[in-house]
Amino acid sequence: MAKLDGQTPEQARWQAENEARRARQHRSLVDGLEIWSFCPRKGCRRRKSCRHDRPALCLNAFFATMPEELKQYLQLVITARTGGASPAEAGRVARERMIAVDGRAPFDDV
């Protein structure tokens, strides 16, 4: 990304490195979970991998197909994980909160 007005060279370098790191994380997620199969770009599906410089587009295509209650569940899991919860604990907290609000949680029917 281009240097923004008012940024020092150090800030611009940090921003570029941070964006590159996030792109690597997104690409790893897209490839590891085969999210490329949801991508509208033929190149991602053909290569069975995201090689685009903006892998967040693959993720956005995936999230667009996801049911709302699953999005809510994932958001609660991520919030709990960000707060320091273990994966199992985050899943339990998310499930309990969804049941408290909606009376049910995703996967109850599974």
Q: Which listed residue (12, 15, 23, 41) binds Zn ion by CB under 5 A?
A: 41
Shortest Å distance, C-beta 55 to Zn ion: 7
Q: For the chain, what's the residue count? A: 110
Q: For residues 93 and 68, what is the distance between their CA atoms, to the nearest angstrom? A: 18
* Near Zn ion in 60-89, by CB under 5 A: none
Q: Which residues are within 8 A (CB) of 78 and not within 5 positions of it... i.e. 6 or more apart?
A: 90
> Does the protein bind Zn ion through residue 94 (CB under 5 A)?
no
Q: Which stretch binds Zn ion (CB under 5 A): 11-19, 54-62, 66-74, 101-109?
A: 54-62
Residue 7 or residue 25: which is nearer to Zn ion going by CB? 25
**Contact at 8 Å (CB) between 21 and 56?**
no
